[in-house]
Amino acid sequence: MIVNRSATKKFGIMKFGRKTSEHNNLNYLNSQCNGLCVNVVSLLKQTNMDRILIFWKRQGAWVLFATMLFLFSTLQVSAQRAESLNVILSGQSDENQELNSLFSDVHPSAYAENGELKIYGGSSPVVVYAAPESFSLLTSDNEAFNSVKLLKVTVSGPEQLASSLNLGQLESFEALEYVVVVFGYDACGNDGEQCLAGLIQNLVTNPGGLPVYYHLSIPE
């Protein structure tokens, strides 16, 4: 049998070329697969990072919102201005009548003055009269304060404006409804009241939002 060596050699070259081509194809597919896998992993990582970033951004937004809300509430409390007692009492309502009675009529009372606390008219006062320098006497745990509805603070001179009256420290004043700051001197000049609200804002800290009023009463 005569074998055509030339044909055999050609066939061998074709077969080898096919193997080489298949091998190259496999390498190409493998490289493409590896690249795809890397891209998929990178995409997943990027997606997770994006989600994490979005999560933290959202959390940061909530924290920022809560902080702004707190600051806004604090500023609202700080900016809460006192009102004129005369203006309030000029209106007709049951609440105003009660306030007028507490302010003007005789009731069981306590006095915090000159570093002493004195109670008159019974053991359950409904009105407390206080000087700014004796305000600390009212911050003690005392059952006598449980029934107090009106706190009346009298400022007799500008030196008393240096005091700090924090209504949040009056923990025993469970029934407290009104606070009136009486100015016993001409604080604004010309017997005016235009500056009194601002003076009270610097004098009184009112975290609970109690109604605070000012009244000018200069002794003759």
- The 10s digit of each residue's pLDDT in 160-213 is 999 999 999 999 999 999 999 999 999 999 999 999 999 999 999 999 999 999
Mean pLDDT for the chain?
Answer: 79
Q: Residue 122's pLDDT band (boundaries 50, 70, 90)?
A: confident
Angle CA 19–25–26, to nearest 5:
90
Q: Where are the domains of the chain?
A: 1-79, 83-216
- pLDDT at site 31: 55
Q: Which two tokens stand for residue 14?
A: 């074709």
Q: How far apart are the first and last CA of the chain?
A: 149
Residues of the chain with pLDDT > 70, as a percent, come to: 64
